[in-house]
Structure 1
Amino acid sequence: MKKLTCYFLLIGSLVILSCGEKSQKETKAKRPNIVFIMSDDHAYQAISAYDDRLIQTPNIDRIAKEGMLFTNASVTNSICAPSRAVILTGKHSHVNGKIDNISPFDTTNVTFPQLLKKAGYQTAMFGKLHFGNNPKGFDEFKILPGQGDYYNPKFITATGDTTVTGYVTDIITDLAIDWFENRRDAEKPFMLMYLHKAPHRTWMPAERHYKEFTKKTFPLPETLFDDYVTRETTAGPAEMNILKHMQLSYDLKVTDSVAEQLDIKNWNTIGNRIGRLDPEQRAAWDAIYDPINADFANRFPEMNDSTLMVWKYQRYMQDYLGTIAGVDENVGRLLDYLDDNDLSDNTLVVYTSDQGFYLGEHGWFDKRFMYNESFKTPLLIKWPHVITPGTTEEEMVQNLDFAQTFLEVAGVTAPEDMQGESLVPLLKGEKEKWIRDGVYYHYYEFPAEHAVKRHYGIATKAYKLIHFYYDVDVWELYDHSKDPNETNNVYNDPEYADIVADMKEKLTELRKKYKDSDELDNQFIEEYKDKGLIKE
């Protein structure tokens, strides 16, 4: 009898252990998958969920309809590589060391993909990283070298370089879906970083889109002819004006021969980009762009600055938005794959950009400034059964917050030196747990391309205070309720004296919180001078 009792006890123990192991496996399996989608220089104004005057983006909009649209998402440093370093590390640029596109990335930084991989996630990255050739924390990666190319791009892999024929946005999606189909481990949760080159300069759309978008005309932004009256020493010197600084050939596809024929100075060449097209691709390209060039050659002698500015703006929008049409289509392909393969239900999907971008506002292209179009970034997140579909969130959030958000979603404790805040309370509708009322920004890359001066600042929902430094000492304050376009600097207006004092106090607190200081600024400047990276 005792033997029989022991036997049943043993069987029972084995069943309990088996159930326990099964329960642990099920718990691990239930951890949400994460798909992080990021485009390069995608302005929120060019997503129809935010503004439908320029383009319709139904697939990107799907993420907002099934999830949450953030209207006050911003970056900590509006330039490509530093933004990506902030996202990976959850630390401000002055802490992770990647303050600009020039400085190297400190590979001793711990990134959230490393932590997720260590916690049992299968990780993959496809597309544009922009810095480094061997990203840590990934089971597999295929990334573009540097900026990469739109047509027939080269990719860096762990085993060597490879060139793929086709259009880059389509190819990056093909790579991601191929990974899902052939190498995803169904026993593990996954984290996919799906990173597009588009719509980064030089804005070369796919054939199916340039045939369509070169026929379109777009509304002019209110501030296209901004005169920078209250920002003469800060906004005025920037070298990103569409009329003065956008290259006719490099940016707008005017052929070298037409530029030479018209004796246009400072036109730069597009040849190295167009040269990647194979004969069939080139024939299709020339069939559309040659007539545009011929028309421009006929009209140019009669153009004044105003008409040339409008012509350049329209050409810019045609190509920029044409590349976004390709991104939207391919985001739809990926979302459809998740739906069709029963992966959507347990997958958090994020769509964002590495920063905002100027689409003619203030007469500009590019980014870098803390003004809204550059500082604010699109952010759309869906998470079935957690986020209420169709939610709009107005709280101040930043790319600094992504790392801690993903770690909390995965049940991984974030390192203490990460500086963001997990967005999970907002995603769950627990807004009472969100206490941030201002965000910090710092831009460093000056003197350099586009001549945007070094500056730092604080933004709240109501106001923005910016301090420009290095070769100037200028403060700016913007009242968002009265001046949404940020064209009127009211820093010296006596009516705003109390607001200035309050915002300066908040800015000081944020600089202390994030361990930034004038001393650190001066240290970076001296180090760069010593290395010859700053040429005065």
Structure 2
Amino acid sequence: MKRTAILLSAVYFLFYNISCFAQQKSKPRPNIIFLLTDDHRWDALGAMGNRIIQTPNLDALAGRGILFKRAYVTTAICCVSRASILSGKYESRHKINDFSTDFSKQALSETYPALLKKAGYKIGFIGKFGVGAQNIPDTLFDYFAAEKTGQPVYELKNKSGNIIHHTDSVGKDITQFLGQFAGKEPFCLSVSFKAPHELDGNPPTYPVQQRYRDLYKNVSIPEPLTADPKYWNSFPDFFRTDQNIGRDRWKPLFATPELHQETVRNYYRLITGVDEVVGNLVAQLKELRIDENTIIIFMGDNGFSLGEHGLEGKWFGYEESIRVPMIISGASLNKKLKGKKSDQIALNIDIAPTILSLAGVAVPQAVQGKNLVEMTLKKSENRDDFFYEHTYLGSPRLPKVEGVVSRDFKYMKYIEHDYEELYDTKNDPHETTNLAKNEAYKAKLDQLRQRYGTLKESVK
């Protein structure tokens, strides 16, 4: 009897595992939608604690998935960050450091869209590509709806000759893509909004959709602590110049309290416009009955200073510049991840390996990012810090900066001038006091200098 029971138990165990394996094999690969906003700072989202901005649909995504409270970019400028997102590599490795350099044929073949296509996914791209200018790879995609320019305008002319806002055009193309590809082969759709990026010009402007032009008009926008002129005046001479792009763009948008109010309102209006498109997208997924097998990933390509430190824009190593919103959401995620708020350091270079892993596609060895889902489930090692680099242009327009961002401290070095910054971001989150010359922090400074040298070599 005992031997029979053992035999029956072994047979049951075998058939149970075969059944589980078969179910796993038969489970369809997930559809993946990656949504990218442009110049979207970490705290311009209701789910991140902003009580003014209206982003109910993005907040709902966060509620159904993982909200990364400490997400960053490794370089805060559109072209470099987007190359890092597509490739999973630091600028030091992918070597795209300007607005004209394209992916080489080999490098393009190692981006997540190309690898997914090779694995049988249908791939689409909508919006601003943002990497290169001469050879934007439209033929790689099964569906491509993007201007072949570095920076699209906000007001586009459609086939009927009518003007359509870029955000609305993106929404229209999402609807068209889903209508064409939903319910067939698995797909990966990459969507890149221009919003809330300013429209470059002299002065820069924020063209918003007509229906949102009165939104927030009666709301008072708090002035940031570091908008006080003493913070701009504390910078060294090489930085504190009107030739600095961050200061040059600050003048027409933040030089008066009235300008500050209107600029931030317009910035928020553009983000709320994106949120509307996200809501329509989620509704269409449900209507098509593919929402249960679709994962949505959302993030900003870099942050944005709205007057902090007397600056407008990104580029430099301050939290407003390098920290972004990030969400992974979807019914097929592990139940433990639903409504999860993660304090782990997540990076833009993590997007490619995360997408590939979700699709069951091997991650190339040269990829430097991590699988964010595994990291959140504590199946891979957490980060304690990361390397930051921004070497486009140089002084005086954009002084080159590199450094180390850790959980509690930040070290930045302006490499053309050998000028250092050290911030205790745990106790000084607004980065008001540079501790680099404070003797009490000499040991910490030396430690981060050494770590900087180590990371600088490791990211190549």
TM-score (norm 1): 0.74
What's the offset of the Cα at 1:483? 1.1
Q: Residue 333 of structure 1: which of 280, 286, 305 is its match?
A: 280
After superposition, residues 7-26 of structure 1 pair within 5 angstroms as none
Q: Render the CA deviation track for 1:150-202: whole Å, top value 9, x for unaligned.
A: 11257xxxxxx997741211111111111111x20523111011111111112
Matches within 5 A, 1:6-405: 27=25, 30-109=28-107, 110-131=110-131, 132=133, 133-135=136-138, 137-144=140-147, 145-153=149-157, 165-181=163-179, 183-184=180-181, 186-202=183-199, 203-228=206-231, 230-233=234-237, 235-237=239-241, 239-240=244-245, 245-246=249-250, 248=252, 309-384=256-331, 385-386=333-334, 388-405=337-354
Report the alpha carbon displacement of residue 28 of structure 1 after superposing the two structures with TM: 6.4
Q: CA RMSD in A?
A: 2.6
Q: 1:231 and 1:512, CA in 2 relative to 1: closer, same or farther beyond 3 A?
A: same
1:328-353 alpha-carbon deviations (Å, 9 max, x no partner):
11111111112232222122111101
Q: Which amino acid aligns with 1:125?
A: F
C-alpha separation between the residues in 1 aligned to 2:26 and 2:115?
15
> Counterpart of 1:322 in 2: which secondary structure?
helix
* Aligned CA distance change for structure 1 residues 69 and 153 (closer, same or farther; 3 Å): farther
Query: How is 1:423-438 mapped onto 2 (pairs within 5 angstroms)?
Result: 423-427=372-376, 429-430=377-378, 433-438=380-385
| Deviation (angstroms), 1:479 | 0.5
Quick one: structure 1 residues 375 and 233, their matched pair in 2 at CA, closer, same or farther if it must change by over 3 Å?
farther
What SS class does the counterpart of residue 214 from structure 2 fall into? Answer: helix
CA distance in 2 between partners of 1:485 and 1:247 (Å): 21
CA shift digits 1:477-516 (9 cap, x unpaired) = 110122111121101211111111221222222122212x
Q: 1:201 is matched by which residue type in structure 2?
A: E
Q: Secondary structure at the match of 2:152?
A: coil
How far did 1:422 drift?
Answer: 1.4
Q: Which runs of 5+ in 1 are unaligned?
A: 1-18, 155-160, 253-305, 516-536
Contact preservation (8 Å) 1:124, 1:191: yes
Could you say if the C-alpha distance between residues 141 and 50 of structure 1 is closer, same or farther in structure 2, counting changes exceeding 3 Å?
same
SS at match of 1:231: coil
Q: Distance in 1 between matches of 2:26 and 2:256?
A: 57
Shift of 1:104: 4.1
Counterpart selection for 1:482 from 405, 421, 427: 427
Contact 1:468–1:475, Cα closer than 8 Å, also in 2: yes
* CA distance in structure 2 between the partners assigned to 1:405 and 1:148 by the alignment: 28
Tell me how far 1:467 sits from its aligned partner.
Answer: 1.2
The code of the aligned residue for 1:356 comes to G
Q: CA deviation at 1:230?
A: 4.9
Deviation, structure 1 residue 245: 3.5
More off after superposition, 342-351 vs 323-332: 342-351
CA distance in 2 between partners of 1:38 and 1:102 (Å): 21
Structure 1 position 461 matched with structure 2 position 410: no
Give the Cα–Cα distance (whole angstroms) in 2 for the partners of residues 230 and 127 of structure 1.
Answer: 39
Structure 2: which amino acid aligns with 1:239?
Answer: N
User: Is the Cα contact below 8 Å between 2:182 and 2:290 reproduced in 1?
Assistant: no
Contact 1:87-1:400 at 8 Å conserved across structures: yes
SS in 1 for 2:67: strand
Paired AA for residue 349 in structure 1: I
Cα distance in 2 for partners of 1:119, 1:178 equals 23
CA distance in 1, matches of 2:137, 2:102: 13
Give the Cα–Cα distance (whole angstroms) in 1 for the partners of residues 359 and 338 of structure 2: 21
How high is the TM-score relative to the length of structure 2?
0.86
Measured in 1, the distance between the counterparts of 2:429 and 2:405 equals 13
Q: Aligned partners of 1:379 and 1:233: how far apart in 2?
A: 36
Q: Specify whether residues 200 and 416 from structure 1 end up closer, same or farther in structure 2 by C-alpha distance, changes over 3 A only.
A: same
Q: 1:70 to 1:405 in 2, by over 3 A?
A: same
> Post-superposition shift, 1:235?
4.8
Q: Distance in 2 between matches of 1:201 and 1:350?
A: 23
Maintained 8 Å contact 1:98/1:106: no
- What's 1:452 paired with? 398
Q: More strand by proportion, 1 or 2?
A: 2
- What number of residue pairs does the alignment pair up? 426
Native 8 Å contact 2:85 2:349 kept in 1: yes
Counterpart amino acid of residue 92 in structure 1 = Y
Which of residues 367, 372, 379 in structure 2 aligns to 1:418?
Answer: 367
AA at the equivalent of 1:118: K
How far did 1:114 drift? 0.3
Deviation at 1:476, TM superposition (A): 1.1
Distance 2:457 2:353 in 1: 20
Aligned mates of 1:415, 1:148 — CA distance in 2: 32
Give the residue type in structure 1 aligned to 2:215.
Answer: E
Whichever residue aligns with residue 181 of structure 2, its letter is R
- Asked if the contact 2:375–2:382 (Cα under 8 Å) also holds between the matched residues in 1, the reply is no
Instruction: Say whether the 8 Å CA contact 2:33–2:188 is kept in structure 1.
Output: yes
Whether contact under 8 Å (2:246, 2:313) holds in the other structure is no
Letter in 2 for 1:363: G
Contact 1:29–1:188 (CA under 8 A) maintained in structure 2: no
- Counterpart for residue 439 of structure 2: 494
Q: Which amino acid counterpart does residue 447 of structure 1 have in structure 2?
A: G
Letter in 2 for 1:193: S
Inter-partner Cα distance in structure 1 for 2:33 and 2:208? 25
Distance verdict in 2 for CA 1:466–1:247, change over 3 Å: closer
Contact 1:150 1:168 (8 Å CA) reproduced: yes
Q: After TM superposition, give the deviation of residue 398 of structure 1 in Å.
A: 0.6
Distance 1:511 1:90 in 2: 17
1:395-430 CA distances to partner (integer Å, 9 max, x unpaired)?
111101111111111111111111111112134x22
CA distance in 1, matches of 2:74, 2:170: 27
Give deviations 1:452-481, integer Å, cap 9, x for gaps.
2101111111111111112x1111111012
Change (3 A) 1:191 1:45: same
Tell me the equivalent position of 1:277: none
- How far did 1:68 drift? 1.1
SS in 2 for 1:49: helix
CA contact 1:36–1:192 (8 Å) conserved in 2: yes
Is the 8 Å Cα contact of residues 231 and 489 (structure 1) preserved in structure 2? no
CA–CA distance in structure 1, aligned partners of residues 116 and 26 of structure 2: 12
Query: Which residue in 2 is equivalent to 1:259?
Result: none
